Amino acid sequence: AELLQLLQLAPDEYMLGKTVVFLRSGVLARCEAARARHLSKCFATVQARTRGRSARRNFHSVRSSAVLLQQTLRRRVKRREAARLAAEAAAAAAAAAEVPEDAELAGQAARLRAEVDALQAEAEPDWLSQAAIDVASVAGSVAGGAAARAG
């Protein structure tokens, strides 16, 4: 009886027997149409939520990949800048070593070395920072030796 009231059927459109519900002609078709509409809404809701969840997963995956790519490129740019500054610092240090009384060259070499250290600290994650400093100091001493030999 509650179901018949939910379907908003008028009392003259149905008759309740002891075990069977009797419906007038056309009422069953309306009931089936209402059922189909309700199931369609339910299926659409399930589909929308499933597609939304899938799209969010895909978005998070793409975003994390983009962030990783950006980090990698930023580090690469900073490493190149650090290498360029390290070469400048080595050249300035070599020039300052040739002319010990030139305080301006010594100051320039110290300033460039500080910039290189700062860039290396930004370019490398913490666990790589010590290795990067070791490599940079070796590269600096090699570049300094090459600049001294060239000069």
- Name the amino acid, one letter, at 145: G
- Name the amino acid, one letter, at 85: L
**Stated pTM of the model:** 0.45
Within 8 A by CB and 6+ apart from 144, the residues are 90, 93, 94
Angle in degrees, CA 132, 134, 135, rounded to 5: 65
Stretches where the chain sits below pLDDT 50 are 127, 129, 142-143, 146-151
pLDDT of residue 126: 54
Give me the residue label for tokens 């910039």. Answer: 115
pLDDT of residue 3: 76
User: Is 15 strand, coil or helix?
Assistant: strand
pLDDT of residue 147: 47
pLDDT of residue 137: 55
Distances (CA, A) of 104 to 57, 97, 111, 151: 57, 12, 10, 19
